[in-house]
Amino acid sequence: MNTPNVIDSNNGCRRGFIQTRMQNFGWTMIVMGASFGLYYLGLFGGVDGPLRPDRIGGHLSANGFTNQHLLAVLLTLMSIAIVWNWIYNGICRLLGRRMTCACRAESADGFCAAPVRRERPGHYVCADGHARPDARFHPLAKGTVAHFMWMMFAIFSAIVYYLM
């Protein structure tokens, strides 16, 4: 069983095969425990409990929650899942965060790439002392989970719209 070592994101040390398997087993046990708990609370409909779907629906309808409300919630969550990183990147750009030095250097990629701080508007200084009017911004991109979330909300919204 020759598996490559996994680099731990906490401190950069390498974890071996056994440590990786034990961590994955631990996560599996946590998810299984949560699933058993939700099952015995009735969320999946097999056991009579406080989270039984027909009871949840009855409480929501008694409070005036309709299909239009559900569609509005799903569309709002879809919109948030689509634009959250645009808002985050806009705030970071305005505050001067996630910026590195754009000074040419003899490094592998040709740039200094040291973190910069904004001295005054339009003037950045890096840790190496380079003072430049521009800096490289590194935007945060959406990952697999974020794309899955907005597609899931879009599909659920289409289903609710179809059933209305």
Give me the mean pLDDT over the 104-130 stretch.
78
pTM above 0.75, yes or no: no
Residue listed under structure tokens 């390498």: 14
Strands 116-120 and 123-126: antiparallel
Secondary structure percentages of the chain, helix, strand, coil, to 5: 50, 15, 35
Is residue 7 scored above 60 in pLDDT? no
Looking at residue 11, its pLDDT comes to 61
Average pLDDT over the chain, rounded to whole?
A: 87
What are the pLDDT digits (tens) for 62-111?
999 999 999 999 999 999 999 999 999 999 988 888 888 888 776 566 77
Looking at residue 122, its pLDDT comes to 75
Is residue 1 scored above 90 in pLDDT? no
In sequence order, what are the residues at sequence separation of 6 or more whose Cβ sits closer than 8 angstroms to the Cβ of residue 124? 96, 99, 101, 116, 117, 118, 131, 132, 133, 134, 135
The sign of the CA dihedral 29, 34, 40, 46 is negative
Q: Which of 52-56, 122-126, 148-152 has the highest mean pLDDT?
A: 148-152
Residue listed under structure tokens 């949560």: 34
What are the pLDDT digits (tens) for 10-25?
566 777 899 999 999 9
Strands laid side by side in the 116-120 sheet: 116-120, 123-126, 131-132
